[in-house]
């Protein structure tokens, strides 16, 4: 199977990478909070913020995928490619259940 790559889209890639780096720093901060016995509710508020930030990353990735990969496949004459892309999306959302 050939390795697939994300579409070339520097703008959205830069936004996603910046958010992930911010999340990485936030998670490190939460780790320090736990290590220093910070009050549980304060830690939980921070973990919720991390979860929310990850949800935003997922939203950006999904938008990028729909705008680029899915649109290209749906407009294609290649029926197998259209089905593959749609099954990928279904698979991702079925895995979240």
Domain that holds residue 44: 24-95
Which CATH number do you get for residue 83?
1.20.58.1000
Q: Which residues contact 73 (CB under 8 A, 6 or more apart)?
A: 81, 82, 84, 85, 86
Do the domain assignments include residue 68? yes
Q: Is 51 helix (H, G, I), strand (E, B) or coil?
A: helix
Domain count, the chain: 1
The pLDDT of residue 62 is above 90? yes
**Rounded to whole angstroms, what are the CA distances from 48 to 4, 23, 84?**
32, 12, 34
User: What per-residue confidence (pLDDT) applies to 69?
Assistant: 87
User: What per-residue confidence (pLDDT) applies to 5?
Assistant: 74
Q: Minimal CA–CA distance to 47: which of 35, 37, 34?
A: 34
pTM for this one? 0.80
Do the domain assignments include residue 14? no
Do the domain assignments include residue 89? yes
Do the domain assignments include residue 51? yes
Average pLDDT of the residues of the chain: 91
Do the domain assignments include residue 13? no
pLDDT, tens digit (0-9, with 9 covering 90-100), for 33-51? 999 999 999 999 999 999 9
Do the domain assignments include residue 58? yes
Q: What are the tokens at 88?
A: 């990928």
Measured CA to CA, the distance from residue 59 to residue 90 in angstroms comes to: 15
Q: Cβ(48)–Cβ(92) under 8 Å? A: no
User: What per-residue confidence (pLDDT) applies to 96?
Assistant: 65
Taking residues 70-77, report their average pLDDT: 90
């Amino acid at each position: 199977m050939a390795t697939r790559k994300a579409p070339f889209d520097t703008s959205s890639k830069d936004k996603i990478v910046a958010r992930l780096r911010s999340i990485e720093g936030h998670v490190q901060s939460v780790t320090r909070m736990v290590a220093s016995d910070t009050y549980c509710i304060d830690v939980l508020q921070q973990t919720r913020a991390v979860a929310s930030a990850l949800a935003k990353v997922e939203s950006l990735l999904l938008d990028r995928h729909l705008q680029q990969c899915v649109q290209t496949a749906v407009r294609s004459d290649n029926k197998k490619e259209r089905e593959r892309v749609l099954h990928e999306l279904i698979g991702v959302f079925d895995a979240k259940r």
